[in-house]
């Protein structure tokens, strides 16, 4: 099979999907069209699994994990308020939002697999997975985000590692939303139950990944990091003009 997608292609797909999703949420498209909002949610589910997979790839190939973690930490911090302002306008900032964005989840996942890789103690492994999963409960993608990263790291079979984490993440989100729906049907529109199935779209993308970094000069590497806070600021400004 001729695998045509490299890391650059996957990153482009991830940020386009994220932009579509953030437009849907930031501009409250659910107030205008359930179908259109469902589309933005469904497509947006591609983003995190792709970023999680590339994070694990980066962990295996980076020369300096500390610098990698520092980059994630820096962009986590600078993205905290833009995330709040885009998705919770008019609400006071809460201390729980200090861990609100995707870079915090990615950072916790990176620290988890780094520490996991350095010990062979099973009890310590269990504690690490539990701790870092719970640490992201209030973050973007909450505890399932870290478990996706862990799955990509821990599963050794090259093909299965691209299939199993998206499947269990999809099941987790569906069951979670189903429980919420049965408890309070008015709080969860029915279409939200099925938007999580967008995660499964990452499977053919990852299976078509050739393992190469692709186009990656410094401006591109930093550009992908910068895109996250910058695009939220741009969307906030555009919304204020409407």
Complete DSSP assignment for 100-152: -SHHHHHHHHHHHHHHHHT---HHHHHHHHHHHHHTTTTSTTHHHHHHHHHHH
What is the pLDDT at residue 32?
94
Torsion sign (Cα): 157, 160, 165, 168: negative
pLDDT digits (tens, 9 = 90+) for 123-133: 999 999 999 99
What is the pLDDT at residue 156?
95
| Cβ proximity of 171 and 144 under 8 Å | no
What is the pLDDT at residue 4?
92
What is the pLDDT at residue 47?
98
Q: Is residue 202 part of a domain?
A: yes
Average pLDDT, rounded, for the chain: 95
pLDDT digits (tens, 9 = 90+) for 30-44: 999 999 999 999 999
Q: Does residue 1 surpass a pLDDT of 80? A: no
SS3 209: strand
| Cβ proximity of 108 and 146 under 8 Å | yes
The domain of 98 spans 7-241
- How crowded is the C-beta side of 202, counted as CA atoms within 13 Å? 34
Q: Does residue 2 surpass a pLDDT of 80? A: no
The fraction of the chain above a pLDDT of 90, given in percent, is 90
Q: Is residue 2 part of a domain?
A: no
Q: How many CB atoms lie within 10 A of CB 7?
A: 21
Position 174 confidence tier, pLDDT thresholds 50, 70, 90: very high
Q: Is residue 38 part of a domain?
A: yes
Position 234 confidence tier, pLDDT thresholds 50, 70, 90: very high
pTM of the full predicted structure? 0.96
Torsion sign (Cα): 208, 36, 20, 97: negative
Q: How many domains does the structure of the chain reveal?
A: 1
Torsion sign (Cα): 149, 139, 236, 33: positive
What Å distances lie between residue 128 and 32, 140, 163, 242, CA to CA?
43, 19, 24, 46
Q: Is residue 47 part of a domain?
A: yes
Cα-to-chain-centroid distance, residue 74: 17
What is the pLDDT at residue 190?
82
Q: Is residue 115 part of a domain?
A: yes
Q: Is residue 1 part of a domain?
A: no
Q: Is residue 226 part of a domain?
A: yes
């Amino acid at each position: 099979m001729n695998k045509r997608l490299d890391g650059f292609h996957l990153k482009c797909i991830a940020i386009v999907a994220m932009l579509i999703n953030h437009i849907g949420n930031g501009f409250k498209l659910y107030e205008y069209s359930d179908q259109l909002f469902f589309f933005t949610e469904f497509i947006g589910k591609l983003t995190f699994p792709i970023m999680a997979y590339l994070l694990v790839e980066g962990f295996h190939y980076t020369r300096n994990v500390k610098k990698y973690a520092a980059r994630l930490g820096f962009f986590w911090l600078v993205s905290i308020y833009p995330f709040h302002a885009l998705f919770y306008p008019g609400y006071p900032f809460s201390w729980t939002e200090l861990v609100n964005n995707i870079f915090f989840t990615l950072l916790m996942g990176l620290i988890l697999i780094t520490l996991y890789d350095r010990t062979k103690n099973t009890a310590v492994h269990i504690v690490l997975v539990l701790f870092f999963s719970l640490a992201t409960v209030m973050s973007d993608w909450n505890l399932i985000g870290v478990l996706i990263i862990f799955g990509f790291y821990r599963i050794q079979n090259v093909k299965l590692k691209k299939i199993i984490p998206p499947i269990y993440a999809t099941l987790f989100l569906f069951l979670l939303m189903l429980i919420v729906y049965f408890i309070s049907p008015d709080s969860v529109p029915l279409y939200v139950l099925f938007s999580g199935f967008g995660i499964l779209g990452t499977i053919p993308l990852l299976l078509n990944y050739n393992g190469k970094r692709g186009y990656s000069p410094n401006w591109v590497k930093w550009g992908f990091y910068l895109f996250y806070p910058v695009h939220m600021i741009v969307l906030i400004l555009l919304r204020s003009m409407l």
